[in-house]
């Protein structure tokens, strides 16, 4: 264990390239340490500080005192644990929550933050009694040749729900094994809330699900696979969400998996509703809860979509609903997935994937879009939108000398970019080198315009002034240190703006060594904002495919950002008074989002970024003071918005660009009064 002294600056302790824990005053590191670095940075840039540091080993008692001194909020929880379970258990719990070890930290997270205490079921019952609306949940289960143990576990997870107002509607799809009927009838004996129907013929999962739905009398349907398990408080959480959002038709939770020994692993801490991501993967179904009348109004499960019948249903419900789509950020569903677990979608993967792509294509058509839907990464899906008319795009490139970088960027636009209507503007901020003047003269023959933007470097003002000279329907803000890698990148970005609710589109940016620089920016990470999964391998799928799927984000870097011009002008452009250099793109994207427009990041527009090569770091030397002022301004202006990025689950830490569990989470169960309970 290591103490790290810090002042007002935010520090990050790293072992080589791997972050240990950012912004903490005490961290736990492995016994064998060879390289240790300190980094300063709160946002899209981090700079290494050349400081001499010393490490000292602490005893458990010293570490405990250091933790409590640095985190007084932990004291109440520690005291309760101390009096309830004894010193050893209390200290271990404190270490699990305050000093997470990256290996096996999900189980530590479960132990500290996702287990019901002994008195919690009674608290849940008391909370249920306060609900104005007590909906009845009809849990729909299509069953077929389910292993006896898994079938019993599924049923038991429903019978032990703390929320009492449910009915379990199971339809068996003509199973041949005699034990299926025995298990089901034994479970239903003496339990009027379990309803059974035995189909005489196997009709596949869509028909079987509709048969189960015919048994339903509840106002909401919950979909449960025949070998999966619900958390004991799952329906209580959903009932609370329904009361909080009475106009919503669609609710979904986080999920994890069960291995062949019933151990939980691989949590999916999901984003809030993400329309673009939904075209790549079905993140809603586990646990998906839907208003019964809404499901019936769209025709229930459709034959021919077996293996993706839930996905097809979700897409049609999303298209039809006028209410919010509510994410309940708690792990309420445990998906049994291990070698030999025989779900339809896993045993007939190709058929299920084709059905999903057909459903996605149909929903895009209903929104007036012509698209091809094909195989994406890791069994997910990729949408290619087809435009007849490509809008004119003005590309604004701020620069000051560094002619070699700018020339590579311009040559990439002119010779390597397959886009029919470009208006290229170089916003010159006082270049003085002869090579730059010669480049400007040679580029004029290709229609490249140079706009003088003199004065001190003010990125926001330079871009605002250049946009006034633009002729395009859309504006692409592009750094002069960007290299083009493939020809169709800009068409990919422009196609997303065909969706009228999309205001901006970001690209995938790589460092020269091939590692990931930008895949969207997460608000709140490292203080203000940070690049999601920065440093990942070029072809990494990322967290549940998020580095390989187009998705909505709260922010994308203006190093390559395509913005609808009318939206840019509507919100007043970049803030040139308060954010001259840092965080101006974060601020711009927040305002785009607040104007009612989505921001999409796409991995299919991939470029190389020689980050800050022409200007150097903004967090060193004389620039550090200004950077800190702009950081403080962002915190004062946007405050809680920075810490509640809807696409970064509150169960994920804000101390890392990587999706790591938060200790503690920033969300609580509604019957508890504090996060530490």
Q: What is the pLDDT of residue 344?
A: 47
Q: Are strands 26-27 and 137-143 parallel, antiparallel or unpaired?
A: unpaired
Phi-psi region of 379 (alpha: psi -120 to 50; beta: other; left: phi over 0): left
In contact, 479 and 556? CB cutoff 8 Å: no
3-state secondary structure labels for all residues of 263-283: CEEEEECCCCCCHHHHCCCCC
Number of residues that make up the chain: 677
- b/e for 521-534, b at 16 or more Cβ within 10 A? bbbbbbbbbbbbbb
**In this structure, how many other beta carbons lie within 10 angstroms of the beta carbon of residue 478?**
24
CA distance 533 to 487: 25
pLDDT digits (tens, 9 = 90+) for 164-180: 999 999 999 999 999 99
* CB-CB neighbours of 397 under 10 Å: 25
Q: Is a pLDDT exceeding 50 seen at residue 40? A: no
Res. 101 pLDDT band, cuts 50 70 90:
very low
Q: Summarize the confidence of residues 339-344 as an average pLDDT.
A: 53
pLDDT level of residue 337 (50, 70, 90 thresholds)? confident
pLDDT beyond 80 at 343? no
The yes-or-no verdict on residue 238 having pLDDT over 50 is yes
Residue 288, strand partner residues? 252
Tell me the pLDDT band of 24, cut-offs 50, 70 and 90: very low
Find out whether 237 and 253 touch, Cβ atoms under 8 Å: yes
For position 618, what pLDDT does the model report? 55
pLDDT in tens, 307-334: 999 999 999 999 999 999 999 999 999 9
Q: How confident is the model at residue 33 (pLDDT cuts 50, 70, 90)?
A: very low
Statement: residue 396 has pLDDT above 80: yes
For residue range 476-519, what is the model confidence (pLDDT) as tens digits? 999 999 999 999 999 999 999 999 999 999 999 999 999 999 99
Predicted confidence at residue 90, as pLDDT, reads: 64
Which of 86, 103, 229, 89 is closest to 157 using CA atoms? 229
The CA-based angle 443-444-446, given to 5 degrees, is 70
Kindly tell me if the per-residue pLDDT of 403 is higher than 90: yes
Please write the tens of the pLDDT for every residue from 442-475. Answer: 999 999 999 999 999 999 999 999 999 999 999 9
First vs last C-alpha separation in the chain: 26
Whether residue 240 contacts residue 127, with contact meaning beta carbons closer than 8 Å, is answered with yes
> pLDDT band at residue 119, thresholds of 50, 70 and 90?
very high
Task: Determine which of 47-61, 251-265, 655-669 has the lowest per-residue pLDDT on average.
Answer: 47-61
**pLDDT at 65 (0 to 100):** 72
pLDDT of residue 367: 85
pLDDT at 369: 86
Task: Give the CA distances from residue 507 to residues 546, 609, 610, in Å, rounded to whole numbers and listed in that order.
Answer: 13, 11, 14
pLDDT at residue 620 greater than cutoff 90: no
58 pLDDT band, cuts 50/70/90, is: low
pLDDT, residue 43, reads: 39
H/E element, 11: strand 11-15
Average pLDDT along the chain: 87
Q: What is the pLDDT of residue 2?
A: 39
Task: Please give the full DSSP string across 437-498, using - where no structure is assigned.
Answer: HHHHHHHHTTT-EEEE--SS--HHHHHHHHHTT---SEEEEE-TTEEE--TTHHHHHHHHTT
At residue 656, the pLDDT reads: 87
Pairing mode, if any, of strands 502-510 and 264-268? unpaired
Q: What backbone torsions phi and psi does residue 38 show, to the nearest 5 degrees?
A: -110, 135
> Is pLDDT at 423 greater than 60 in this prediction?
yes
Q: Which residues contact 644 (CB under 8 A, 6 or more apart)?
A: 523, 524, 650, 666
Share of the chain above pLDDT 70, in %: 81
Mean pLDDT over residues 362-373, rounded? 90
User: Could you report the per-residue pLDDT of 569-610, keeping only the tens digit for each?
Assistant: 999 999 999 999 999 999 999 999 999 999 999 999 999 999
Residues 33-49 have a mean pLDDT of 45
Among 47-61, 181-195, 483-497, 509-523, which is the least confidently predicted range? 47-61
Question: What is the average per-residue pLDDT within 142-163?
Answer: 97
- β-strands 288-291, 220-223: how paired? antiparallel
Least confident of 5-14, 347-356, 633-642: 5-14
* pLDDT bracket for residue 200 (50, 70, 90): very high
H/E element, 93: helix 87-98
Place 351 in a pLDDT band, splitting at 50, 70 and 90. confident
How far is residue 137 from each of residues 187, 208, 213, 281, 327, measured CA to CA in Å?
18, 19, 12, 26, 17
Question: What is the average per-residue pLDDT within 291-303?
Answer: 97
Instruction: Tell me what pLDDT residue 253 has.
Output: 98
Give pLDDT tens digits for 528-547.
999 999 999 888 999 999 99
Per-residue confidence at 95, pLDDT binned at 50, 70, 90?
low
CB atoms within 10 A of CB 511: 16
- Whether residue 666 is preceded by a cis peptide bond, meaning omega within 30 degrees of 0, is no
Do 386 and 372 meet the contact criterion of CB atoms below 8 Å apart?
yes
Whole-number pLDDT of residue 23: 41
């Amino acid at each position: 264990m290591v103490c790290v002294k810090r002042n007002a600056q935010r520090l990050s302790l790293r072992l080589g390239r791997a972050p240990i824990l950012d912004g903490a005053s005490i961290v736990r590191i492995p016994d064998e340490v060879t390289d240790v670095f300190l980094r300063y940075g709160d946002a899209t840039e981090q700079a290494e500080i050349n400081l001499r540091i010393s490490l000292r080993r602490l005893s458990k008692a010293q570490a405990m005192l250091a933790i409590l001194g640095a985190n007084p909020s932990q004291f109440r929880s520690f005291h309760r644990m101390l009096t309830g379970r004894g010193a050893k258990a209390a200290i271990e719990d404190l270490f699990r929550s305050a000093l997470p070890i990256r290996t096996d930290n999900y189980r530590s997270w479960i132990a500290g933050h996702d287990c019901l205490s002994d008195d919690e079921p009674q608290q849940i019952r008391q909370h249920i009694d306060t609900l104005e609306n007590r909906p009845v949940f009809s849990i729909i289960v299509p069953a077929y040749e389910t292993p006896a143990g898994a079938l019993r576990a599924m049923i038991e997870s429903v019978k032990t729900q703390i929320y009492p107002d449910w009915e379990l509607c199971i339809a068996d799809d003509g199973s041949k094994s005699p034990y299926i009927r025995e298990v089901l009838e034994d479970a239903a004996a003496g339990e009027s809330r379990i309803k059974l129907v035995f189909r005489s013929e196997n009709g596949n999962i869509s028909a079987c699900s509709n048969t189960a739905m015919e048994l339903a009398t509840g106002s909401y349907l919950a979909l449960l696979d025949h070998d999966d398990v619900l958390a004991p408080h799952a329906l209580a959480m959903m009932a609370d969400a329904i009361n909080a959002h009475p106009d919503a038709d669609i609710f979904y939770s986080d999920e994890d998996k069960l291995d062949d020994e019933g151990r939980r692993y691989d949590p999916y801490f999901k984003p809030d509703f993400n329309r673009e991501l939904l075209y790549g993967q079905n993140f809603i179904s586990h646990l998906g809860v839907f208003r019964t009348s809404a499901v019936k109004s769209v025709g229930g499960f459709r034959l021919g979509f077996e293996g993706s019948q839930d996905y097809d249903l979700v897409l049609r419900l999303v298209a039809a609903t006028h209410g919010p789509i509510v994410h309940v950020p708690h792990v309420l569903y445990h998906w049994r997935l291990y070698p030999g677990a025989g779900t339809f979608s896993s045993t007939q993967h190709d058929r299920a994937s084709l059905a999903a792509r057909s459903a996605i294509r149909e929903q895009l058509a209903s929104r007036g879009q012509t698209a091809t839907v094909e195989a994406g990464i890791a069994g997910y899906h990729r949408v290619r939108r087809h435009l007849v008319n490509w809008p004119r795009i003005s590309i604004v490139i701020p620069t000051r000398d560094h002619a070699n970088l700018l020339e590579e960027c311009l040559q990439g636009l002119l010779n390597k970019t397959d886009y029919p209507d470009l208006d290229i503007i170089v916003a010159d901020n006082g270049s003085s080198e002869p090579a730059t003047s010669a480049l400007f003269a040679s580029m004029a023959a290709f229609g490249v315009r140079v706009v003088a933007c003199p004065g001190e470097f003010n990125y926001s003002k330079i871009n605002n002034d250049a946009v006034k000279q633009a002729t395009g329907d859309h504006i692409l803000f592009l750094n002069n240190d960007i290299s083009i890698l493939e020809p169709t990148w800009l068409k990919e970005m422009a196609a997303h703006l065909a969706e009228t609710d999309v205001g901006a589109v970001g690209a995938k940016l790589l460092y020269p060594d091939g590692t990931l620089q930008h895949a969207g920016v997460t608000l709140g990470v490292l203080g203000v904002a940070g690049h999601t999964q920065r440093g990942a391998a070029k072809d990494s799928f990322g967290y549940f495919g998020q580095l390989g799927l187009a998705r909505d984000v709260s922010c994308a870097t203006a190093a390559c950002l395509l913005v609808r011009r009318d939206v840019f002008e509507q919100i007043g452009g970049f803030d040139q008074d308060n954010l001259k250099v840092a965080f101006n793109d974060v601020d711009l994207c927040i305002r785009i989002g607040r104007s009612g427009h989505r921001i999409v990041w796409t991995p299919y527009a991939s470029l190389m970024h020689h980050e800050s090569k022409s200007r150097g770091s903004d967090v060193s030397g004389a620039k550090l003071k200004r950077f800190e002022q702009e950081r403080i301004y962002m915190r004062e202006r946007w405050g809680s918005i920075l810490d509640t990025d809807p696409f970064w689950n509150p169960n994920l830490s804000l101390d890392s660009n990587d999706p790591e569990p938060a200790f503690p989470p920033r969300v609580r169960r509604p019957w508890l009064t504090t996060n530490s309970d």
